[in-house]
Amino acid sequence: MYPVYRFVYLILFIIGVPVYSIIRFVKGKPGIRWKYRLGHRLRKITEIHSSPVWIHAVSVGEVLAAKPLVLQLRESFPSLPIVMSITTETGKIAAEDLPYDTYIIDFPFDFKKSVRKYIENVNPQMVIIMETELWPVFCTEVNKKDIPLILLNGRISDTSYPKYKFIKSLMKRVLRCFSLLIVQTELYKERLISLGADESKIIVYKSLKYHLSNFLVESEESDILRKELALSEKDILITAGSTHKGEEEQVIYAFKKLKKEYPILKLAIVPRRPERFNAVWAMINDSGFIGQRFSSSQRIPDWDIVLVDKMGELKRFYSISSLVFVGGSFIKHGGQNLLEPAAFGVPVLYGPHIYNFAQMSEMLNASGGGCIVKDADALYSAMRNLISDEQKRKITGEKAKSVIEANQKDFDELFKNIEKRIKC
């Protein structure tokens, strides 16, 4: 299967890169830096850093999961160089929250020559792959160099598992390259074993996205945001975070019914994708409410709905909210991170399609800090129930935060498994 994979990957590359580049150009997005990712024009990292730990995180979610590790590495090994490879622009933006000396690079295309050039230039003492980036050539070449390879925060989703089973012989080769496989659940462990992983190398640890360091916002930042929005102490802010197409209408519908009963309510809508900002803004204007674009320098004091049309603001809005709906869950997208709002002691509501964050959902439901709402009417009822009872809203928020706090205890033990493999 390995030669077959390499041939298929080459064909897909030849067809896909030009098409994808054209699509990005038409949409006004940056190019994919394909020359760098092929191993050309690389700056020799070894001239700057010696024997770094290389962490690969694809996008925002993986960067978020890697952050506790980076912070702990920096604390335990102050002089240890850290290199992080990222493949998306949003991931690079998220990486700005990491310690300033984390060196950010692109990730190579999965060709032997490209991968070998990258390994030569980075010269890592260890490679840590976040979540599910199981690239056969990359893993094989790292293993050939006797570099410890670790999968961290690993998961094998319901959609990925059947595909991996279809290429089981290839997956077995890839998984056997790893020195350590740290996965989020027992189910993922069982799936890895069935695909050929060595059971003795697997550790189960809850998602690193639960780590409190991912969610902290300075109180001064929250205060500044409240002033920016001209929120009074009586105002109750509801935030609909990481929303997708087809969800904003349902949130506005529920908000409209609530606003009749509770005039002090305000709504913040934070679309998941920046390309949808204008469409959501048009929707707000058509709703009959007074809208405010967060990016606008012209502030409207009596706004009803604010469109958060700036990236990287979601945590700040969660930090000042009284109630949160997490998007990607009314549609069959699989949901978004439920624990970001929970960390601020805010009740968390979400739709039924939460399979990408099923574990988080189960934990929040069990704690009483979260609730599944099947549609817009259920969202209205759940919001009304919490808005009408301030004490209940406070207790529910505390239960949500308890989920985060309960998952900090085992991180030190997990880190020891990585720490003992580091040469410093």
CATH of 217-406 among 3.40.50.2000, 2.60.40.1730, 3.40.720.10, 3.90.650.10: 3.40.50.2000
Exposed / middle / buried, residue 69 (Cβ in 10 Å: 0-12, 13-18, 19+) = buried
DSSP secondary structure of 324-390: EEESSTTTTT----SHHHHTTT--EEE-S--GGGHHHHHHHHHHTSEEE--SHHHHHHHHHHHHT-H
The residue to which tokens 């609730």 are assigned: 371
Give the model's confidence band at 112: pLDDT under 50 very low, under 70 low, under 90 confident, else very high: very high
Q: Specify the DSSP class assigned to residue 210.
A: G
3-state SS assignment for residue 107: coil
CA distance 390 to 246: 30
Residue type, 222: S
Helix (H) or strand (E) holding 130: strand 126-130
Q: Where are the domains of the chain?
A: 29-211+409-419, 217-406
Exposed / middle / buried, residue 366 (Cβ in 10 Å: 0-12, 13-18, 19+) = exposed
Do the domains 29-211+409-419 and 217-406 sit in the same CATH topology, yes or no? yes
Ranked by mean pLDDT, the top range of 46-55, 97-106, 254-263 is 254-263
Give the model's confidence band at 212: pLDDT under 50 very low, under 70 low, under 90 confident, else very high: low
Give the model's confidence band at 194: pLDDT under 50 very low, under 70 low, under 90 confident, else very high: very high
pLDDT of amino acid 21 = 82
What helix, strand, coil percent values describe the chain, rounded to 5? 50, 15, 35
335 vs 410, higher pLDDT: 335
74-83, 261-270, 308-317, 411-420, range with the lowest pLDDT:
411-420
Whether residue 41 is predicted with pLDDT greater than 80 in this model: the reply is no
Tell me how far the alpha carbon of residue 367 is from its chain's centroid: 23
Whether residue 20 is predicted with pLDDT greater than 80 in this model: the reply is yes
The pTM assigned to this predicted structure is: 0.68
DSSP secondary structure of 26-74: HTT-----HHHHTT-S---GGGT-SSPEEEE--SHHHHHHHHHHHHHHH
Q: Which CATH class is domain 29-211+409-419?
A: alpha beta
Q: Name the β-bridge partners of 182.
A: 203
Write the CA distances from 302 to 292, 299, 307, integer angstroms.
Answer: 9, 9, 14
Q: Which residues 6+ apart lie within 8 Å of 53 measured at CB?
A: 73, 80, 81, 82, 83, 124, 125, 126, 127, 128, 422
- Closest to 347 (Cα-Cα) out of 291, 386, 402, 404: 386
Phi, psi of 306, deg, nearest 5: -105, 130
Please count the residues of the chain. Answer: 424
3-state SS assignment for residue 311: coil
Q: How many CB atoms sit inside 10 A of residue 116's CB?
A: 16
pLDDT of amino acid 91 = 83
CA distance 120 to 146: 13
CA distance 363 to 370: 8
Whether residue 44 is predicted with pLDDT greater than 70 in this model: the reply is no
pLDDT tens digits for range 118-140: 999 899 999 999 988 899 999 99
218 vs 189, higher pLDDT: 189
The residue to which tokens 């975070």 are assigned: 241
Whether residue 245 is predicted with pLDDT greater than 60 in this model: the reply is yes
64-73, 159-168, 175-184, 343-352, range with the lowest pLDDT:
64-73
Structure-token pair, residue 61: 């979610």
- In the β-sheet with 291-293, what is the strand arrangement from edge to edge? 291-293, 305-307, 265-271, 236-243, 323-326, 348-350, 370-372
